[in-house]
Amino acid sequence: MPTTPSPPEPRSTVRTLLRLWPYVRPVRARLFSAAFIAVVASCIGLVIPLVLKWMVDGPIADRDPAGVWLGALYLLLLGLAEALLFGFRRWLVARPLSHVEAEMRAGLYRHLQRLPIAFHDRWPSGQLLSRATTDLMLLRMFLAFPLTFLLVNGVTILVGVIIMLVQDWMLGLVILIPAVPVMVTCVVFEKRYSGAARLAQDQVGDLTTVVEEGVLGIRIIKGFGRHRSQARAFRELAGKLRGTELHKARLLATILGVIVTLPELAIGAALVLGAVRVADGSLSAGTLVAFLSTALALRWPVDSIGFLLAMSQEAATATERYFEVMDAEPESSAAAGSRAAGATGVPPLERSRERGRVGAAAPRSAERRVQPPGESHDPAPTGHLPGPVGLRGRRDCPRSDGLVFHEVTFRYPDAPSDTAPVLDRIDLHIRPGESLALVGATGSGKTTLTALVPRLHEVTGGRITLDGTDITEMSREELRSRVAVAFEEPTLFSASVGENVLMGGGTGDEDLERALAVAQADFAHALPRGTDTQVGEQGLSLSGGQRQRLALARAVVGRPDFLVLDDPLSALDVHTEAAVEAALRRVLADTTALIVAHRPSTVLLADRVALLSGGRITAVGTHHELLRDNPEYAHLMSGAPAGNQEDDER
């Protein structure tokens, strides 16, 4: 399991939370009005003690029942106004804030889709999931509540303290004594709590990853009877999370203890002092009542500071975690490797616009075909051109046409720099309409090589051209619409069979039927609802071979110019494989194809074969030539029909 990317240095809570501003901006009017209303409502609450004072010193002292009733009516009206205003505030913010949450979530999802494979290789999915769910919920709650109430309570406390000082400055000073220790506690608390909050949220992410793996891998877990050890791993993580949560609770309990106890003591002291002064006549009873009820009205605003600070810390952590993903550089349209650095710092929107322009500027395929050759050398070790099949060889093509690898070097971004690159100065030329089989031992880099063509990874050195155009000069959209891929691991989505296949392009039933026929996926028609049958999550309700055939259909449905197949037939039985091959041969007749193959039968589909060994292309030729001249190739092929040679080694 990949580890959680390490959290950054300590940050300023306020500065972190300020990053939310772009998302909050659209609803700022409502948010500010709501805060204003809450301040007003809260201050109305502070008028109540003043009415009490008036009642005690006036009607009650004068024994005037009518005055008391009037006072009671005032109190009722004030209470009502306060309640209504708070209700109005809540109504005001509910809708815009769920909008903010939805926007942020959509933004995160969009960004995740555009992040390079290298990012997803590095990040455990549970970390991403928890950011998209728990963290965003924390943020919505923060915007709805602590953000407003830190302000409201701050203002309320200030106004309340001023009222108390005006009533009686001596008692007011007594009440203020705990202010300094409370503030110090808050600062210390904030620092500690921030660390604990970060840890807890990261642990939620790890836990999510374990749950996800446990669910997706349920077959393996059951098959190997691993449910106990899996449960133990889960329990351990859950226990860790529980420990962190308890630590958070302890911190919160400490600050609450201080925040509640000290002011309470101060109120007690003020009560005693005030009572003595009322007794000796230097203070009116009404003033004491007003003073104490103001102090009591401030209890909630003060007590809540602990919770509000805790929630703000959690929100800051959530913001930080959110932006860790959002700040990751998406796939740029700029060139590969070091050249990609040029795109850093451009806001995503700008970049996608830029990409649009590059796409528009790229010549359409018809023009590209007549382009003069951009390269002066033919990098492919010269094997002979096979006899014309279909369109092949009909065109008098420049030598840079087709799919060409020019001195392509590749190293995985997280590989130590002292290790040899996975691919080392690969030169390959697949001519238009030609299909080339790529053969090599397990781990020789075949999958890696195929992933470079649709730019799932960026080459570290050298370049790849399609009909003479460097793939880094096309927009990814254009590149990926021209290159279709099918991988070893055929991933399907929770959608119907038809939708899964048409994901590869194509427009309607006709294309769908054709693609299903090529991939020998007629079984789709026999499914309960034909091609409308929903395949379960990841297509697990289908057999491996069925999934592979649907993935193959998806690759050919859009009639791509270039087809990249990473061992697409490995799970098929011999008869089905032969039928798929016959159909593929017709498709491949006018498609330029790179096919990773293990079995001689798949290799025979191709016009030529390239052998990948030690990160280099060590031989190119026809199957029979290589079989005759290259011992390594002969050895790789001798295990036929061992298409599962790879599984044995893993």
Q: How long is the chain? A: 650
Stretch that binds ligand ADP, among 13-21, 50-58, 132-140, 445-453 (CB under 6 A): 445-453
Query: Which residue, judged by CB position, is nearest to Mg ion in the bound state?
Result: 447
Select the span of 284-292, 308-316, 437-445, 503-511 touching ligand ADP (CB under 6 A). Answer: 437-445
Q: Which does 286 bind (CB under 5 to 8 A by kind): ligand ADP, Mg ion, none?
A: none
Q: Find the binder of ligand ADP among 16, 319, 447, 500 (CB under 6 A).
A: 447
Q: Assess contact for 193 and 248: CB atoms under 8 A.
A: yes
Binding flag, residue 16, Mg ion (CB under 5 A)? no
412 interface partner picked from Mg ion, ligand ADP, none, CB below 5 to 8 A per type: ligand ADP
Specify whether the CB–CB gap between 211 and 234 falls below 8 A. Answer: yes
| 192 to 18, 138, 313, 539, 641: CA distances (angstroms) | 21, 19, 10, 46, 62
CB of 516 to ligand ADP, least distance (A): 27
| Residue 138 neighbours by CB under 8 Å, 6+ apart | 311, 314, 315, 318
Q: Does 444 bind ligand ADP (CB under 6 A)?
A: yes
- The set of long-range contacts for 202-206, using a CB threshold of 8 Å and a minimum separation of 24, is 202/4, 202/7, 202/127, 202/321, 203/237, 203/240, 203/241, 203/244, 204/130, 204/134, 204/241, 205/4, 205/124, 205/126, 205/127, 205/129, 205/130, 205/131, 206/4, 206/124, 206/126, 206/127, 206/237
Are 499 and 485 contacting, i.e. CB atoms less than 8 angstroms apart?
no
- Minimum CB separation of residue 117 from ligand ADP in Å reads 7
Of 45, 71, 421, 445, the one binding ligand ADP (CB under 6 A) is 445
Shorter beta-carbon distance to ligand ADP: residue 449 or 535: 449
Look-up: residue for tokens 């449960």? 231
446, 480, 554, 598: residue in contact with ligand ADP (rule CB under 6 A): 446
Among 148, 448, 472, 546, binds ligand ADP (CB under 6 A): 448
Sheet holding 592-596, edge to edge: 483-486, 562-566, 592-596, 435-440, 608-613, 616-621
Which pair of structure tokens corresponds to residue 92?
């005001």
Q: Are 56 and 285 in contact (CB under 8 A)?
A: yes
Amino acid at site 5: P
Task: Please work out the total of residues on this chain that contact ligand ADP, with binding judged by CB under 6 A.
Answer: 12
Residue 315 or 571: the one with the smaller Cβ distance to ligand ADP is 571
Within residues 107-146, the interface with ligand ADP by CB under 6 A covers 121
447, 460, 475, 602: residue in contact with Mg ion (rule CB under 5 A):
447
Instruction: Give SS3 for 444.
Output: coil
Whose Cβ is closer to ligand ADP: residue 584's or residue 596's? 596
Question: What's the token pair of residue 600?
Answer: 């001689």
Please identify, using beta-carbon distances, which residue of 444 and 622 lies nearer to ligand ADP: 444
Closest distance to ligand ADP from the beta carbon of 612 (Å)? 7
The binder of 22, among ligand ADP, Mg ion, none, by C-beta within 5 to 8 A per type, is none
Among Mg ion, ligand ADP, none, what does residue 79 contact (CB within 5–8 Å per kind)? none
Scanning 327-422, the segments in alpha helix (DSSP H) are 348-361, 365-369
DSSP 58: I
Which x/- pattern, by CB under 6 A, does the window 403-432 give for ligand ADP? ---------x--x------x----------
Q: Which of 284, 409, 442, 644 binds ligand ADP (CB under 6 A)?
A: 442
Least CB distance from residue 613 to ligand ADP, whole Å? 10
Dihedral of CA 83/89/94/100: which sign?
negative
Collapsing DSSP to helix, strand or coil, 616 comes out as strand
Chain contacts with Mg ion (rule: CB under 5 A): 447
Chain contacts with ligand ADP (rule: CB under 6 A): 121, 412, 415, 422, 440, 442-448
